[in-house]
Amino acid sequence: MLADADPLLVAVAVAFAVVNGANDGGTLLALSLRAAGLRVWVALVALAAMVAVAPALVGTQVATTLAVRLVDVGGAERVVVLAAVIAAVTVPVGLSRAGLPTSLTVALVGGLVGAGAAHGVGVAWGLMGAVVVAAAVAPVVGGLGAFALSRLARHLVAPGGAARFLARAHRVTFAVQALAYGANDGQKMLAVGALALGLADGQARSGGAVPPAWPLLAGSALAFFAGAVLGLRRYARTVGMIIPLRRPNAVVGEAAAATAVLGTAALGAPVSMTQTVAGGLVGTGASEGQGRVRWQVTSRIAIAWMATLPLAAGAGAAAAAAIAAAG
């Protein structure tokens, strides 16, 4: 598989997986630390393992959307992949430094579309619209689900047994969350890797799906693991920005977000796990009263989400033009 691969694109794909581990893995693992019943290293291994295992279990619909259906790269992998990854990393980093945390998944979608349009390859604009709708709906569904689940849990769980129940429930909800991440959000690493190795080009011509190649999945998982180790402490603060987190909030937020993300994975729609978790936290916080949610912080995060796609598309287009001009 690697014999004829472009070394530069392979290095870019590995770096992109490390960044995903630091951003997504660090945030999701930081949330798990707020709940009982799971050691951090167990959670870290489980999340990284699902990056490799979930696509083989549930399919590669999301990676296929990103690497095959959204943009017809058609042999222009070097320009499009480089430009899209540049946009997918620089835009979230810039927004985060401005206090506006956002999604690498949304940024990658924007970067691919911007780079593809600027380089003159085919862009499926109708599919692009559907992806944007799914990305916007998933956090809302996660929030509504968390609101309902929080209300239900207060009637079903006896106060005296709450701690034991939460510890057991967290093991289940985190496992489902890890599966959901690997089935959807985590597949952006598989998509970039498939483009870097030229696996997507043949699938685009034949109408097939991105293959769940084990060397590619294992490499993505290892790079993701390394990034998550590096990013865990830095991103641990972000999960407490939306609401003052308690253990029930973390468990409910995980459960609601995982359900919403698994649903969109079945449709092949790439959505952000961290955005959906944020929606779940808003929902579980609102179930305890409007004052529990830091609405000013939440509104800033929402503004960042809305700005990410156009900014990443512009950055992808600019990067593609610069790379093409440089030969």
Does 85 map to a domain?
Answer: yes
pTM of the entire structure?
0.90
Question: Is position 1 within any domain?
Answer: no
Q: Is residue 2 part of a domain?
A: no
Give every CB contact of residue 219 below 8 A, 6+ residues apart in sequence. Answer: 14, 17, 193
- Please check whether residue 24 lies inside any domain of the structure: yes
Q: Residues 6 or more apart from 178 whose CB is under 8 A from it?
A: 43, 46, 47, 49, 50, 54
Confidence at residue 185, expressed as pLDDT on a 0 to 100 scale: 93
Can you give the residue range of the structural domain that contains 105?
Answer: 7-325
Q: What pLDDT score does 293 carry? A: 85
Residue 297 has a pLDDT of 81
pLDDT of residue 15: 93
Taking alpha carbons only, the member of 42, 56, 28 closest to residue 220 is: 56
Tell me what pLDDT residue 243 has. 67
Q: CA dist 203 to 61, 66, 72, 144, 269, Å?
A: 12, 12, 10, 37, 18
Phi-psi region of 272 (alpha: psi -120 to 50; beta: other; left: phi over 0): beta
Bridge partners, residue 123, by sequence: 71
Tell me what pLDDT residue 145 has.
93
Is residue 203 in a domain?
A: yes
Residues lower than pLDDT 70 in the chain:
1-4, 33-37, 99, 155-166, 201-207, 233-245
- The per-residue pLDDT for range 311-326, each reduced to its tens digit, is 999 999 999 999 988 8
Q: Whole-angstrom Cα distance, residue 327 to residue 309?
A: 27
Count structural domains, the chain: 1
Could you give the 3-state DSSP secondary structure of residue 123?
A: strand
Per-position b or e across 164-181, b if 16+ CB within 10 A of its CB: ebbeebbbebbbbbbbbb
The predicted structure's pLDDT at residue 206: 54
Within-domain flag for 78: yes
